[in-house]
Amino acid sequence: MKTKVCNGGGKTPKFGDEFQLQVTSPTEEIILRVWDKDLTTSDPIGFTKIKMSSLMINCGVTDWFTITFNNLPAGEILLESKFIPEGGNGFDQLKNKFEQQETELRRDAEQAKYQLSMLQ
């Protein structure tokens, strides 16, 4: 995948591009390559490798990653990730189940109160 060219971005370009990836294993890596595009050539600025697992923490992160060139730091890139597990977020599913059970228990309690009042 490739972002659009950020013309006039200088040393602090802002892209805002979004990509959707299908993750088959948290051990997979993303390799980001950063290039300087001129009128006639494109020169490498650097790259970084990012483990998918580091982008999946807490269902997504916002973090800086170091770009290296010839094994030396060449800058940083800010990435924001959102991880949506297949089948949905387990916490949200448990929360919904709890709320349903709570509603049923309240209804049963009201019904029991009514039945008790009828016996008195």
Amino acid at 76: E
For the stretch 30-74, pLDDT in tens is 999 998 887 788 889 999 999 999 998 888 999 999 999 999 999
Q: Where are the domains of the chain?
A: 1-84, 88-120
Residue matched to tokens 């490498």: 44
User: 29: closest CA among 55, 50, 2, 53?
Assistant: 50
The dotted CATH code for 1-84 is 2.60.40.150
Q: Is the pLDDT of residue 88 over 70?
A: no
Angle at 88 between CA 83 and CA 91, to 5 degrees: 90
pLDDT at 120: 77
What is the value of pTM for the model shown?
0.63
> Per this entry, what is the length of the chain?
120
The three-state secondary structure class of 85 is coil
